[in-house]
Structure 1
Amino acid sequence: MIIDTFAKRRSQYALGRQHAYGQAQIEQIVRDAVRQAPSPFNCQSARVVVLFAGEHERLWAIVKSALAAIVDRESVQLSFDKIDTSFAAGIGTVLFFEDKTVIQSMQRQWPQYAENFPTWSEQSSGMAQFAVWTALAEADLGASLQHYNPLIDEAVRAQWALPHSWSLRAQMPFGSNQGPLPEKAFMKDTERFRSFG
C-alpha cells in the first residue's frame, strides 16, 4: 500500500556513499518523481538540479562560506561539523527551485487567480519534494530537507549558471542509510483531525 511507502520516508542525517545505484539511475528516480508531482493548472513550475561528487561537495562549501560570514565562531563550527558528517557525506544533493517566470505567466493568463499562484507554487514545490524524498526512500536511500535559502541563492545561481527566474526553495542531501531511521512521533489524532457527516 502506498501509505507503507510514505512511512519509509524519514529525515536521515547519517548519510554515506555505499549504494547500489549509478548516477543515471538516481537522476531518473528524481526526474520521474518530479514529473509525476502535481502543479497548479499543470504549469510544471518545478525546476531541479541534482549535484553529485565534487559538485555536491561544492554546494556544501558554499553553505559553509555563507554561514561563516554571519554566525559566531563557536556556533559555526557546530554547523560545519553537521554539514561535514551528514549532508556533505552523502552521495549528492537535489536542489529544488520554482520558476518565477512560469508563475508570472500563469498570473497573466489567469488574472482572477493571480494572488493565489505564489501560494500554489509553494504547495507544488512541497509536493515535488515529498515525491522525490519518498522515491529515494523506496530505493533505500536516506535524505533530509534543508533550507539554506535565501542565504546561498546568489552563489548557487552563479556557480551553476542558473536562470535568475529560478527561485531556490530547498536542498535535499541524500545517500546511503548509515544509521537506523529515527522513529517519528505523532500527535494525537483528536488534536489534528476532524470529520463531519
Structure 2
Amino acid sequence: MRESIHRLTREHFRDGRMRPSLLDQIQGAAQPDRTGGAAPSSTELKIPVDVGAISLYQDIERVARDDHWRLFKTDQATLAEVIQAFDDVITADELPEWPDHLGRNTDAWAEQIHSYLNPTKPPRRLNRPCPACGQRLHGPDREIALTLYCYADDGTMLKWDQWSVECRGCSARWESDRLEWLSKVLAE
C-alpha cells in the first residue's frame, strides 16, 4: 500500500527515469489540446478533453474522499493529501479493517491509472476456420475462434519464433515450429 500511495501522490522512479505522480499523469492526460500521442500537424484537430481520464480521476476522487471523510471527518485537502493520509491508517490498531480496504483501493487505483496511460495491445483475431476443429466462430457471442498472440506484455511485437496461435473452440495451440505450416493452411 505504501508503494502505491507513493506512486499515486509523489514523483517516483520507474522504467529507468523519474516520473510524475500517477495522479499528475492522469490529470495531464485529461487536459485539452492533447493530440493523443501523435505529432501535431497544422491540419490535425486537437482532442478537447480525454473523457476516460477524467472519469477515472473522478471515480478515484469520489471513493478516496468518501473513505477519508469516514476516517477523519474532513475533506479539506487535495486528492493527493487525502490519499497520503491513508498511510497513517496502516499502523492504527483501533481501525483493524481499514488497512486492507485502503491497501486494495490504492493498489487498484495505481494499476488502473498505469493501465489507462499504458494500454497493452490486444491479441489479433484470425477470421479463418480452425484447422483442428473447423470452427471460425465460437461461443454464444459468436467470437472469432483463432487468436494470434504476437505482442509482449509491454506492447512490443514479439519475434516470429515466439508467436503462438490458439483456438478458443477446441484449445488447439500452434507455436513457433508449427506456425509456418499453420500460415500455409490458413492461406488456402
Using the size of structure 2 for normalisation, the TM-score is: 0.24
Name the structure with the higher helix share.
1
The structure with the greater share of residues assigned to strand is: 1
Is the radius of gyration larger for structure 1 or structure 2?
2
TM-score of the two chains, using structure 1 as the length reference: 0.23
